Chains A and B, each alone.
Chain A
Amino acid sequence: MNIQIKKFYYGDIPEENTGGQPAAVNKSNEKAWPLWEVFIRSKQGLDHKHAGSLHAADAAMAIENARDVYTRRQEGVSIWVVESKHVHASDPGDAESLYEPAADKIYRHPSFYDLPDEVKHM
């Protein structure tokens, strides 16, 4: 078996990856399977949460791999997979303009109400 494993880390998803084909950087890399992001719902009624990523040749294999890698200790009842190249991420360089303006707008937090003691989970 001559499969090249290429490891990507979060925020590191290559933009040149398009349409299920791995980036053709060199010849051996042509054999690499595309990367998939895995989302697991831990129980009914909860949201799917990002669990990690893995390699697979197609969606069916990605779900099976996710089942084997991420739910073997009963972590989930439902799996979503999406090819990493379809995830559009914000640019870390934009963090200043994206997130910092919210810092001084404390009025957006519901912290100016007097809550009766009886109200829990707020």
Chain B
Amino acid sequence: MDKTTDQLINYTLHLADTTLILAQRNAEWCAHGPILEQDIAITNISLDLLGQSRNFYQYAAVLINQSASHQNKPATEDSLAYLRNEREFKNLLLTELPNGDWAQTVLKQFFFSVFQSLQYEQLLSGSDEQLAAIAEKSLKEITYHLRWTSEWVIRLGDGTDESHERINKAIEFLWEYTGEFFIPADYEKNIEPGITVIKEKWLQKIKEVFEEATLSLPGDVYMQTGGKQGIHTEHLGYILAEMQSLQRTYPGAEW
């Protein structure tokens, strides 16, 4: 298989895995939300992300099936989601982290939504038409996620002493997983103009919202990496075990 196709497949899987794992995490709130309306809101976001991941998996499956040889061939969206192992998943580490409390969940989604909006805006003008089309469709949803999460970060940061303390704890926990966004994996290096250039814009947006939320940006810390290459935290294995157990126990099961 030529290198460019291989890179495109991996990149598409990276986009698919990232949205799938975050969708799965947010879905854990289903029937556990702090209040009915927010339960529906966070699971709506989960379903948006799941829809996005399906688009990417379907495209990845087409690319894999067209290629001369690929370890996942023959592929469908389901086989890519349910039958790949932890080391094959290329999602961002941030997305697999535990939900913790509401502050941690909301902040996790906020960090990702800001990044996702910038990343997908780049995809719009990218060379791959299919990825551009998926990005265009997704951006409408992402715009809403960004608005919803920003307001929650402001509400919690500028809320009570307890909410302020909780969101600060969430910042402390999640911050070291944000550096990975902007370090391109091998399969991202051909993508112009590249994710390194959106780092400043990402920081700018975070800063804006944090200022309104009376929160401050953390200083320099060691940034965790590895998700894009399949090296994950201990949490991903548990997510996959829960998510994949049915397909692996009853192969081909439908409902």
B-binding residues in A (CB < 8 A): 1, 3, 5, 33, 54-57, 60-61, 64-65, 67-69, 72
Contact = CB atoms under 8 A, between A and B. Distances in A.
Contact of A68 (B44, B101, B102, B147): B44
Contacts of A67: 144
B141 interface: no
B102 to A, nearest CB: 6
Given A61-B151, A72-B44, A56 B34 contact: no
A5 B151 contact: no
Contacts of A61: 151, 155
Interface residue SS majority, chain B: helix
Interface in B110-150: 144, 147-148
A68 B37 contact: yes
A117 B167 CA distance: 69
Contacts of A64: 41, 147-148, 151
A68 B41 contact: yes
B41 A65 contact: yes
Contacts of A72: 40, 44
Nearest to A36: B37
Interface of B: 34-38, 40-41, 44, 101-102, 144, 147-148, 151, 155
Contacts of B148: 64
Contacts of A1: 34-35, 101-102
B35 A3 contact: yes
B38 to A, nearest CB: 8
A33 B101 CA distance: 19
Contacts of B37: 54-56, 65, 68-69
A53 to B, nearest CB: 11
Contacts of A55: 35-37
28 contacts: A1-B34, A1-B101, A1-B102, A3-B34, A3-B35, A33-B35, A54-B36, A54-B37, A55-B35, A55-B37, A57-B155, A61-B151, A61-B155, A64-B41, A64-B147, A64-B148, A64-B151, A65-B37, A65-B38, A65-B41, A67-B144, A68-B37, A68-B40, A68-B44, A69-B37, A69-B40, A72-B40, A72-B44
Contacts of B144: 67
Ranked nearest first, the 6 interchain pairs of A and B with the lowest CB-CB distance are: A1-B34, A65-B37, A68-B41, A68-B40, A68-B44, A54-B37
A110 to B, nearest CB: 44
B35 A5 contact: yes
A76 B134 CA distance: 24
A65 B148 CA distance: 10
B40 to A, nearest CB: 5
